[in-house]
Structure 1
């Protein structure tokens, strides 16, 4: 082992403090829940196909397709106003 110091002439940057007062939302919306649920079904289909073996290659790709459909459904629902802060989720007092 060497007795040399591990210090170098490089400067170390200190990260900015995180502002915890900002509400993140965490995607808690019908669009997010629908997207994740459909993608979870696609993942389960793909995992079952993986466990079955080589004869289930088509089933695996169907699972991948379901995952893609879930992403498209989530984006479509968000643009339709069902995302975080969407106009369909506002309380109008009725």
Structure 2
């Protein structure tokens, strides 16, 4: 993944940071048995995703052409007849 620059953009860092803060808030209020605070944390988590997508749309994420992995050309597999001919040549 490191070779593909996966997630090393301002949009990704900001979205994940906001979502992490929301996770911490929801976790703290879960331990405190406060349902309202828990749901506020869940809203912050969703907000992190929305902010990440909005920043990517604003041009702060990876360009579209970098999202797809490079396609390698499949190597043709030798047929059974070609394998038999190659083996016969090596035996001679």
Q: Secondary structure at the match of 2:4?
A: coil
TM-score by length of structure 1 reads 0.63
Q: 5 Å matches for 1:10-89?
A: 23-53=3-33, 56-85=34-63
Residues in 2 aligned to 1:72 and 1:38: alpha-carbon distance in whole angstroms: 10
Quote the offset at 1:85 in angstroms: 3.5
State the match for 1:13 in structure 2: none
Higher gyration radius (CA): 2
Unaligned runs of 5+ in 2: 65-92
The Cα offsets for residues 7-65 of structure 1, whole Å up to 9 and x where unpaired, read as xxxxxxxxxxxxx9xx4221100000000000010000000011101xx1000000000
- Computed over aligned residues only, the root mean square deviation of the Cα atoms, in angstroms, reads 2.0
